[in-house]
A = this chain, B = another copy of it.
Amino acid sequence: MVLCTAQPFLVKINSEVELTQEKVIREFEPVFYPESIAIVGVSQNVFKVGSLWLKAIIDAGFNGPVYPVHPLGGEFLGLKVYSSVKEIPGIVDYVIVSIPREAVPELLDDCADKVKAVHFFTAGFSEIGDVSGYELEEELVRKAQSGGFRIIGPNCIGVYCPEGKVPYGPSGRIGKAGSVGFISQSGGIGEKLVELGAARGINYSKGISFGNGIDLDSVDFMEYMAVDPKVYIIGAYLEGTRNGRRLFTTMKKVARLKPLVVWKAGRTDVGAAAAMSHTGSLASPASIWSAALRQCGAVEVRSVEEMADTLLIFQQLGQWRGSGKGNGIAVVGGLADGGGGISVSSSDACAELGLHIPSLSMETRHKLTGILGQVGSILHNPVDVSQSGSNPDIIREALGIVLADPSIELVIIQEDAGILLKYFPMEWVQDINTVFVDFRASQEKPIVIVSPPGASDLQRLEIEQRLTQASIPVFPTMERAAKAVANISSYYQMQEASKS
């Protein structure tokens, strides 16, 4: 069977799950797939955020009408500038607001019964820590409820949806449409995830930066992505929540439907204080969060790199879930000479993360000795293939033998491009990568590549891109690869355990 990342996770909606798929999807359609967008705060200064945003949306090829709004009216980038939202003809799905906070209440009066969702880039609310910020937020929510629209933010970047041609914020970043969804309380972390997506081949169906989350909160977006058939994996960056019980109940439901990866920042006192200043989030002890996430069956990560790594491995490995009982991992190193130290250190990296590195069977080792020889070889697992002389045919044979071992469910290969390219030309190294690409397509056991940075980063990135396109996840260090494998394994183990 050829593995394919395009196969959706099966989303079964039943009474226990209590998510009313259609209603939720309909409610969020104007947010993620708006038919029209207004941008409030577009001035003639092309470096102002509103103006950049307008240009970004046009450049992304957004299909529907885009309405710039500014009290002075006029024309900008060939579009009529409306002096107020009220003046725009008909209904507006999505309004992006980048104006001073003092002007916000009046704007919301204009939006009543006219728009479906209002997103505030505007900051200066509860996160500045004085009472007026909280009061203003409460006023905003009241106006939204009476005016029949939802609020995203304030203090955030809002929506990202490559399929709907909605770029991520005023930088205009937009990547390929894919199967990953992200929910981020931080606009900057959201942007980094989008950027890492472009760099490392993580393709998003949609994403949202929701900032202070005064109306639509992490929970709402999680519920939506849980039932959205286009999202297979959900990553969430959270600094806090105003309703912990509701969040945890939701996460438990969501994690049963699809992989949920959560990074709770503000774990330490200093971090929590920064979170308070950033999104007005209140601190809760890190240990409580970790325990709760485990109970929910969500995977906990602790950095933007680990979040990206984990989303990538879920995306690339598609429906693979191993046996669920401490999957057997083989580690292969020494594609060029010098696989000994890597064998030792990668064993440590995997074992310290609880991965199971079983000894290969006598038969497997016998076969490997036959093609690699005894001297200079380490064949128990890790397997050091340096005696192959980096010959792609011998590597193919050796890898085939390792993959055929019944105790092995996944192979991590250390491919140090910087070392290989010092001995061999790029074509030779690509012939070795062809072996990995072929095995990924022709059999079911996943291949994970560790491709460490070094002195040949241009070629290394070219190789990474090729492997990524072939649904092979690539990581810069053995530790990060091992952690990603441990994370995907732990997700399925938690789900398995919750069934019994």
Contacts and interface: CB of A to CB of B under 8 A. Distances in A.
B278 A378 contact: yes
14 contacts: A172-B422, A188-B340, A192-B338, A195-B455, A265-B344, A267-B352, A271-B348, A274-B380, A278-B343, A279-B340, A302-B348, A303-B345, A305-B477, A458-B458
A189 B348 contact: no
A75 interface: no
A348 B266 contact: yes
Interface of A: 101, 123-124, 128, 155, 157, 171-173, 184-192, 195-196, 198-199, 237, 239, 263, 265-271, 273-275, 277-279, 302-305, 334, 337-345, 347-352, 357, 374-376, 378-382, 384, 416, 418-419, 422-423, 452-455, 457-458, 461, 476-479
A196 B457 CA distance: 11
A192 B267 contact: no
Given A351-B269, A382-B274, A186 B344 contact: yes
Contact of A378 (B199, B277, B345, B476): B277
B341 A189 contact: yes
Contacts of A452: 192, 304-305
B477 A303 contact: yes
Contact of A186 (B275, B340, B347): B340
Contacts of A270: 347-348, 350-351, 357, 381-382
A288 B265 CA distance: 34
A41 to B, nearest CB: 15
B192 A268 contact: no
For the complex of A and B, the 9 pairs showing the least CB-CB separation, nearest first, are A188-B338, A186-B341, A268-B351, A189-B341, A278-B340, A271-B347, A124-B375, A271-B348, A270-B347
In the complex this chain forms, how many copies of it are found? 2
Given A376-B124, A478-B303, A187 B268 contact: no
Contacts of A273: 347, 380
Given A302-B348, A348-B302, A457-B199, A334 B188 contact: yes
A16 to B, nearest CB: 35
A428 to B, nearest CB: 12
Nearest to A185: B341
Given A186-B344, A188-B419, A267-B352, 12 more contacts: A124-B374, A124-B375, A186-B340, A192-B338, A192-B418, A199-B454, A265-B344, A278-B340, A278-B343, A303-B349, A305-B479, A453-B476
Contacts of A184: 341
A199 B376 contact: no
A124 B374 CA distance: 8
Contacts of A187: 337-338, 340-341
Contact of A454 (B196, B342, B350, B375): B196
B419 A192 contact: yes
Contacts of A265: 341, 344-345, 348
Contact of A348 (B155, B199, B268): B268
A268 B352 CA distance: 7
Given A340-B188, A375-B101, A375-B128, A171 B239 contact: no
A348 B188 contact: no
Contacts of A416: 192
A444 to B, nearest CB: 25
A226 B155 CA distance: 55
Of listed A123, A380, A422, residue having the most chain B CB within 10 A:
A422
A479 B303 contact: yes
A265 to B, nearest CB: 4
Contacts of A457: 199, 457, 461
A196 B191 CA distance: 29
Contacts of A192: 338, 341, 416, 418-419, 452, 454
A341 B278 contact: yes
A267 B374 contact: no
